[in-house]
């Protein structure tokens, strides 16, 4: 059946009349309940049970009927007419303005700023969050990390460790982008270095390090990544770079992060985020000098005025002030024979039980390094174990101090002496991880299958070098009369099909 327009209008008006009747019926029922109580026909409990409501509802009808009459029984919302704890509009407007001027400020930072400004009444952190959500300045669906998700680690006192790194972000009018050599104290988050350099090469970076040590003192250790200006670990030559030499001359331990682990230097990386967000974004400078002056002013405010949330909303300078600083002294040039003997360093292979042996004492390293070579450094009553230049374990020395001389002799005896170039041959490691020299096989390791290695003689031993470092040392087991044939070809390259090209 198809209804025309007049029929539809008739049905709609009938529905409206039904709604009106329902609303009037509700008021009428409440009115009858009130009359039954007033006339004394029934008690409040009986009326409530009869109409299927609570006693509190019947008492509410009685109060509203006594105050307003029959209109007071009409349905009304439960929203209160006023809220004494509601945030004043002027405070809410200030919160919104602060968020729009500083998009990186969260509720905690805004609350800290309002506290410093003496705003009253001071809203709570959750009230600030709800205000930002109302104005669509925060996405309520974004995941917020719980405090238990964070794992914080820091040194126990200032000047115990500096984290140093290099970052970009400075923009000049000529289109160039200089770098910034940054350094942060691990315990206090105090910025110890923020120097702008035209190019982040070895000399400018080391000059920034020396400038920081002159101004702040000499730290006990410095943690950096594996950049070429910091270490020669992944460079073509494994020798000591300038940064390492400065650390050694001033008694500073230079620690490196594991490859692919940028979170190890998380504090200086987080400082970079704050630096770019609060200082560098949207700024263009005419020269490096102008940028450095502005950066120095910002760093002073960061160290002495700006609150740091991880420090309990206190500036880093308050923590850094408790540091015991070693004065910086320019190292005096000295003859090589007058230099102090370096800490003994020994190479050991990790056993199947994950331990290494030194003077009949075993030190735990880890089963995951079984068969790998590690370096043991003995100093100050400690045994530090390094793998690929990374500190992986530290143990208290178990042998007697009188035996240190014995350890020193072992280190000197095991120290590899790089032979001259005319006593080196190039070999290619076969599929078994073995190279051939003078008719005898010497193992290089499965990690170097198909790669070039250098085979050379050092006394009565055969050394195998790869990537600029000593891989294996074997006792010579070949016929010494065949060495002439191995070294006969120019450059030490044998005429074999599988020889290195």
pLDDT for position 414: 58
178: pLDDT confidence band, cut at 50, 70 and 90?
A: very high
Work out the average pLDDT over 35-41. Answer: 86
Q: What is the pTM of this model?
A: 0.47
> Using H for helix, E for strand and C for coil, what is the string for 153-217?
CCCCCCCCCEEEEEECCCCECCCCCCEEEEEEECCCCCEEEEEEECCCCHHHHHHHHHHHHHHHC
CATH topology of domain 89-141: Arc Repressor Mutant, subunit A (1.10.10)
pLDDT for position 421: 40
At 271, list the tokens. Answer: 């400082």
pLDDT for position 350: 87
CATH architecture label of 341-414:
Beta Barrel (2.40)
**CB distance 158 to 187 below 8 Å:** yes
**84-121 per-position pLDDT tens digit:** 778 888 888 889 898 888 888 888 889 888 988 888 88
Decide if pLDDT at 74 tops 70.
Answer: yes
**403-457 per-position pLDDT tens digit:** 777 777 776 655 554 444 446 788 888 888 898 888 888 888 888 888 888 888 8
- Kind of pairing between the strands at 461-466 and 452-458: antiparallel
**274-294 per-position pLDDT tens digit:** 999 889 988 999 999 999 999
Decide if pLDDT at 80 tops 90.
Answer: no
pLDDT for position 1: 46
User: What is the CATH code of the structural domain delimited by 421-492?
Assistant: 2.40.50
Is 162-320 a CATH 3.30.420.10 domain?
yes
Decide if pLDDT at 162 tops 90.
Answer: yes
pLDDT for position 86: 81
**CB distance 252 to 222 below 8 Å:** yes
Lowest mean pLDDT among 213-217, 330-334, 339-343: 330-334
């Amino acid at each position: 059946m198809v209804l025309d327009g007049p029929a539809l209008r008739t049905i709609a008006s009938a529905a409206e009349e039904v709604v009106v009747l329902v609303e009037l019926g509700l008021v009428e029922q409440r009115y009858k309940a009130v009359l039954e109580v007033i006339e004394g026909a029934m008690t409040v409990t009986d009326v409530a049970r009869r109409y299927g409501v609570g006693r509190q509802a019947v008492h509410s009808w009685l109060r509203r009927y006594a105050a307003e009459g029959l209109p007071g029984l009409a349905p009304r919302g439960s929203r209160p007419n006023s809220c004494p704890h509601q945030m004043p509009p002027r405070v809410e407007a200030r919160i919104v303005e602060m968020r729009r001027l500083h998009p990186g400020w969260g509720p905690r930072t805004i609350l800290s700023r309002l506290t410093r400004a003496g705003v009253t009444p001071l809203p709570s952190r959750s009230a600030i969050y709800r205000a930002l959500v109302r104005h669509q300045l925060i996405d309520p669906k974004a995941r917020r990390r719980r405090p238990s998700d964070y794992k914080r680690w820091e040194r126990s006192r200032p000047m115990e460790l500096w984290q140093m790194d290099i970052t970009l972000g400075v923009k000049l009018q000529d289109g160039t982008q200089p770098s910034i050599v940054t350094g942060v104290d691990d315990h206090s988050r105090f910025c110890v270095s923020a120097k702008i350099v035209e190019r982040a090469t070895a000399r400018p970076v080391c000059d920034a390090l020396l400038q920081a040590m002159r101004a702040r003192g000499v730290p006990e250790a410095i943690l950096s990544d594996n950049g070429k200006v910091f270490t020669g670990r992944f460079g073509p030559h494994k020798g000591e770079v300038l940064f390492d030499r400065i650390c050694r001359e001033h008694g500073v331990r230079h620690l490196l992060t594991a490859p692919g682990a940028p979170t190890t230097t998380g504090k200086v990386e987080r400082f970079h985020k704050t630096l770019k967000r609060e200082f560098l974004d949207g700024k263009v400078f005419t020269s490096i000098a102008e940028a450095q002056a502005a950066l120095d002013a910002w760093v002073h405010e960061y160290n002495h005025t700006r609150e740091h949330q991880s420090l309990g909303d206190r500036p880093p300078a308050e923590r850094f002030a408790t540091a015991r600083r070693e004065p910086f002294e320019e190292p005096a040039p000295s003859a090589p024979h007058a230099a102090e003997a370096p800490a003994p360093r020994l190479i050991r292979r990790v056993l199947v039980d994950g331990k290494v042996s030194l003077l009949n004492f075993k030190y735990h390293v880890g089963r995951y390094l079984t068969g790998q070579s590690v370096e043991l450094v003995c100093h100050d009553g400690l045994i530090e174990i390094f793998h690929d230049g990374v500190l992986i374990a530290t143990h208290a020395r178990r042998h007697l101090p009188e035996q240190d001389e014995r350890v020193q002799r072992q280190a000197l005896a095991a120290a590899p002496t790089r032979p001259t170039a005319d006593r080196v041959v190039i070999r290619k490691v076969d599929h078994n991880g073995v190279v051939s020299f003078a008719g005898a096989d010497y193992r290089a390791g499965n990690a170097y299958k198909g790669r070039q290695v250098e085979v050379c003689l050092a006394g009565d031993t055969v050394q195998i070098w790869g990537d600029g470092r000593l891989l294996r040392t074997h006792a010579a087991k070949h016929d010494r009369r065949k060495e002439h044939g191995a070294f006969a070809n120019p450059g030490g390259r044998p005429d074999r099909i599988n020889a290195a090209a």
